[in-house]
């Protein structure tokens, strides 16, 4: 019988206090059951332990029940969770992770410096690494089959550290079209109108004088305003310019597929 996520979370919360007190338990959560290295679709209460030990070595009060109020449990060895300086001393994003690579560590296309391992995603039976275009696809320069290394080159990685190959990516759109946001367009027009107005005023017509040098030569008259939205002005006068911001589409989602040699590690 499938378990609803709300039901699993509720059961976890109700049993958290006594589960976390058991010897060797370092965390309690909700996730998908893992069986022989394969993540299933079954929702369970996950019990994180510093190290798995034989049941015979545990006191009865430290044993984890097989289910909690009808929701199955899954004991997962994670080690101890550390924070701050202790965590930095124990592991860094530069570490070479084998056989399992956790999210958040250094990774990247073989030709880039380094980036962040986002997460693992599944499509059918295939497992993919998900990160940004500039991390895995080298800002649209990557080709399917390019090596993905862990850690990235900046953190000491080399082509020998290949853990996956680039499968596909969505190209970055650098905003070839003008901004379509009405608010941004309106602000742009208003700023350019103000800039053009200032340039058309004679020096004596400005109410605000920032600095006057009586010995300085008289500046040449301002050039007539251009038809463009932004313009430059003579070097001897204050300059102001506004230009429209171009909107780039949020398309930095990328996938890198495991190489055959690394597939067992995910």
Contact 254, 165 (CB under 8 A): no
Is 100 in the same domain as 166?
yes
> Considering 23, 51, 77, which residue would you say is the last residue of a domain?
77
Give the tokens for residue 98: 């084998």
Is 72 in the same domain as 110?
no
Task: Confirm whether 62 is domain-assigned.
Answer: yes
The pLDDT value recorded for residue 240 is 31
Closest to 193 in 3D by CA, of 142, 159, 228: 228
* Secondary structure of residue 198 in the 3-state scheme: helix
Is 15 in the same domain as 109?
no
Residue 135's CB is within 10 A of a number of other CB atoms, namely 27
Task: Confirm whether 47 is domain-assigned.
Answer: yes
The pLDDT value recorded for residue 71 is 92
> Considering 77, 105, 126, which residue would you say is the last residue of a domain?
77
Closest to 223 in 3D by CA, of 213, 215, 231, 214: 231
Residues spanned by the domain of 59: 5-77
Separation of CA 4 from chain center: 29
Better-scored residue on pLDDT, 91 or 138: 138
Is 56 in the same domain as 167?
no
Closest to 152 in 3D by CA, of 134, 139, 174: 134
Give me the CATH number covering residue 25.
3.30.300
The pLDDT value recorded for residue 74 is 92
Better-scored residue on pLDDT, 171 or 83: 171
Residue 180's CB is within 10 A of a number of other CB atoms, namely 8
d(CA 60, CA 55): 9
The pLDDT value recorded for residue 85 is 56
d(CA 237, CA 195): 12
Better-scored residue on pLDDT, 155 or 236: 155
Task: Confirm whether 232 is domain-assigned.
Answer: no
Range of lowest pLDDT (144-148, 176-180, 206-210, 246-250)? 246-250
Give me the CATH number covering residue 107.
2.40.10.10
User: Model confidence over 231-259: pLDDT tens digits?
Assistant: 333 333 333 333 322 222 333 333 444 33
Judge if pTM exceeds 0.85.
no
Task: Confirm whether 59 is domain-assigned.
Answer: yes
Give the tokens for residue 166: 């680039």
Is 41 in the same domain as 67?
yes
User: Model confidence over 43-89: pLDDT tens digits?
Assistant: 999 999 988 888 888 888 889 999 999 999 999 888 877 665 555 55
Give, in order, the Cα–Cα distances in Å from 21 to each of 17, 49, 91, 122, 161. 7, 11, 26, 34, 40
Task: Confirm whether 107 is domain-assigned.
Answer: yes
**Sign of the C-alpha dihedral computed for residues 3, 10, 58 and 36 taken in this order:** positive
- 186 has pLDDT over 60: yes
Is 166 in the same domain as 256?
yes
The pLDDT value recorded for residue 94 is 65
Domains contained in the chain, number: 2
Task: Confirm whether 153 is domain-assigned.
Answer: yes
């Amino acid at each position: 019988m499938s378990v609803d996520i709300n039901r699993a979370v509720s059961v976890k919360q109700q049993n958290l206090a006594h589960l976390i007190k058991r010897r060797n338990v370092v965390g309690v959560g909700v996730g998908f059951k893992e069986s022989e290295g394969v993540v299933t679709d079954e929702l369970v209460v996950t019990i994180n332990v510093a190290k798995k030990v034989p049941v015979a070595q545990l006191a009865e009060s430290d044993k984890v029940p097989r289910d909690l109020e009808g929701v199955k449990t899954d004991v997962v060895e994670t080690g101890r969770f550390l924070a701050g300086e202790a965590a930095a001393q124990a592991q860094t994003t530069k570490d070479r992770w084998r056989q399992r690579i956790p999210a958040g560590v250094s990774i990247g296309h073989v030709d880039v410096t380094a980036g962040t391992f986002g997460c693992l995603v599944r499509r059918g039976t295939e497992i993919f690494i998900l990160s940004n275009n500039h991390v895995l696809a080298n800002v649209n320069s990557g080709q399917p089959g390019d090596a993905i290394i862990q850690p990235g080159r900046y953190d000491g990685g080399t082509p020998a550290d290949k853990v996956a190959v680039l499968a596909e990516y969505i190209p970055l759109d650098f905003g070839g079209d003008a901004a379509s946001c009405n608010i941004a367009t309106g602000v742009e027009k208003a700023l350019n109108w103000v800039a053009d107005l200032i340039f058309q005023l004679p020096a004596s017509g400005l109410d605000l004088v920032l600095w006057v040098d009586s010995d300085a030569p008289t500046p040449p008259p301002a050039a007539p305003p251009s038809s463009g939205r932004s313009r430059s002005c003579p070097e001897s006068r204050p300059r102001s310019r506004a230009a429209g911001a171009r909107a780039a589409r949020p398309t930095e989602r990328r996938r890198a597929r495991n190489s055959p040699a690394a597939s067992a590690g995910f």
